């Protein structure tokens, strides 16, 4: 087993390429395997901290956010090794319970380590998380929920100092909003707590179900994951296990959008069709043909896309906010008007202005975006300002006439594994320069 280090190839961490160059006009055709889910991998890596013995994670994607998680694990004293798509975490050498500011600032999901560290050591010290600037994502829900489990939290000089002097104690927690991160922290903290914890208005995302399945395989007793009410019966200890990360539903939706806007036909392999149900109606509304069989999904684009009409982002099982940007590219090329309402993050339309540089007609007012479809887009320099918006700009560039240069591809590397390489395998002209 080789020591986990810097990645190489497309999406590498060794250097930050300046831009991605696309040349539009090629319909995407072929087949592609969907990577493991970023939003499942990160909490699973944090959960390994709460276990005794090795955790072996299969289908673990090579992403900058995963790399940051590994750096956090190593900082805590864990040993991490990788071979291909398998990442092994041995937490038995863990000696610390603090995460430095520079690591916390690199990604928002770093806050999920809080519940796991508290479960393992009874105390944790960390700063506020960073990540894409897509609007306020306050962690007050995390903190207020953990306080109800007996955690004492105080802030000093920008750091959160958390202790559980009497251990994690089961209790009733009703979340004001079905926050994915807060639900994950509660699962991690309460899994080895004293007594039973009931979480009302819990997040229902597939990634929550994936985390609960992993924890249960490690010896936890979690019931109702994927529903609004989750029950966690605390156990004395968790042990490591071997587990396979679920496929990434947002990456699948992004490749589907790229196929749609280029007029292509693409077969996605290793997908979970049930996870994609909230977005499939939008694709079908544009005239795309969707065929599913087992863990495969075929998308065939029409000659001209129809408008998406109306998209409202909502917590699962509603339309996912992470799929809003790729689907907006389809609406930009639709034969009619589409309306989007962003109900999750207030600054998640930054890609709209960049799409307008390519010739789209998008007007944004608050949380509403009105898109008047145009017959075609034209290549131009644009800039990625967050993860999903950056991927959407690449898809738009593949549909645009001429060359499109997308700056700041480091955002895309946070969530898409070998993005350009995979697109080239489908016939796209896309390169790092």
The Cα angle at residue 92 between residues 35 and 124, in degrees rounded to 5: 85
Sign of CA dihedral 95, 96, 100, 103: positive
Q: 99-122: per-residue pLDDT in tens?
A: 998 898 888 788 999 999 999 999
For position 130, what pLDDT does the model report?
A: 57
**Best CA proximity match to 238, nearest among 214, 268, 258, 273:** 214
Cβ atoms of 409 and 17 within 8 Å: the answer is yes
Q: How far apart are CA 13 and CA 15, in angstroms?
A: 5
DSSP β-bridge partners for residue 362: 371
Query: What tokens appear for 114 in the block?
Result: 């809080």
How does DSSP classify residue 48? G
What sign has the CA pseudo-torsion 200, 348, 113, 275? positive
Q: Is 29 annotated as a binding residue?
A: no
Strands of 207-349, DSSP E: 221-223, 229-233, 238-239, 242-244, 265-269, 289-293, 296-300, 310-312, 337-341
Angle between helix axes 38-47 and 64-76 (nearest 10 degrees) is 10
| Residues constituting the chain | 433
159 counts as catalytic = no
Query: For position 137, what pLDDT does the model report?
Result: 47
Q: Is 173 helix (H, G, I), strand (E, B) or coil?
A: strand
Catalytic residue among 60, 78, 132, 162: 132
From first CA to last CA, the distance across the chain in angstroms is 33
Per-chain mean pLDDT for the chain: 93
108 annotated among ligand-binding-site residues = yes
258 φ/ψ angles, rounded to the nearest 5 degrees: -65, -40
Domains, the chain, in order of start with CATH, read 2-35+247-432 (3.65.10.10), 38-244 (3.65.10.10)
Predicted TM-score (pTM) of this structure = 0.93
- Annotated binding residue 248: no
Cα–Cα distance between 261 and 374 in angstroms, integer?
A: 12
What residue ranges of the chain have pLDDT lower than 50?
A: 1-15, 131-137
Residue 335, marked binder: no
User: How many angstroms separate the CA atoms of 433 and 420, rounded?
Assistant: 11
């Amino acid at each position: 087993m080789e020591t986990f280090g810097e990645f190489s190839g497309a999406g590498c961490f060794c250097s930050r390429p300046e831009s991605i160059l696309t040349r539009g006009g090629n319909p995407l055709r072929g087949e592609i395997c969907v990577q493991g889910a970023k939003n499942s991998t990160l909490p699973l890596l944090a959960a390994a901290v709460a276990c005794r013995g090795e955790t072996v994670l299969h289908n673990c994607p090579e992403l900058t956010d995963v790399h940051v998680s590994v750096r956090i694990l190593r900082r805590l004293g864990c040993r991490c090794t990788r071979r291909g798509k398998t990442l092994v975490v041995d937490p038995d050498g863990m000696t610390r319970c603090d995460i430095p500011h520079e690591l916390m600032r690199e990604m928002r999901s770093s806050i999920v380590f809080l519940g796991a560290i508290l479960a393992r050591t009874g105390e944790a010290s960390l700063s506020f998380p960073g990540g894409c600037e897509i609007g306020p994502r306050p962690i007050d829900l995390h903190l207020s929920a953990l306080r109800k489990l007996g955690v004492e939290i105080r802030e000093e000089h920008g750091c959160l100092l958390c202790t559980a002097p009497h251990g994690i104690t089961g209790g009733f927690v009703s979340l004001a909003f079905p926050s994915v991160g807060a639900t994950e922290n509660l699962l991690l903290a309460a899994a080895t707590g004293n007594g039973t914890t009931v979480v009302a208005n819990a997040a229902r995302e597939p990634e929550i179900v994936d985390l609960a399945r992993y924890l249960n395989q490690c010896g936890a007793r979690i019931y109702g994951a994927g529903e609004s009410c989750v029950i966690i019966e605390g156990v004395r200890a968790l042990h490591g296990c071997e587990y396979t990360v679920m496929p990434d539903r947002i990456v699948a939706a992004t490749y589907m959008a790229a196929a749609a806007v280029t007029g292509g036909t693409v077969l996605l392999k290793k997908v979970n069709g049930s996870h994609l149900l909230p977005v499939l109606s939008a694709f079908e509304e544009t005239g795309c043909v969707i065929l599913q069989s087992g863990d495969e999904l075929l998308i065939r684009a029409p000659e001209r896309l129809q408008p998406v009409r109306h998209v409202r982002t909502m917590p699962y099982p509603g339309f996912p906010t992470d799929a809003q940007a790729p689907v907006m590219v389809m609406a930009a090329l639709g034969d009619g008007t589409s309306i989007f309402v962003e109900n999750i993050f207030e600054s998640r339309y930054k890609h709209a202005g960049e799409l307008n540089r390519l010739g789209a007609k998008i007007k944004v007012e608050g949380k509403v975006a009105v898109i008047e479809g145009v017959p075609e887009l034209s290549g131009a320099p644009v800039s990625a300002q967050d993860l999903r918006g950056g991927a959407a700009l690449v898809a738009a560039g593949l549909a645009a006439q001429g060359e499109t240069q997308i700056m700041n591809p480091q955002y895309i590397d946070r969530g898409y594994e070998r993005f350009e390489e995979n697109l080239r395998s489908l016939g796209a002209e896309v390169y790092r320069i």
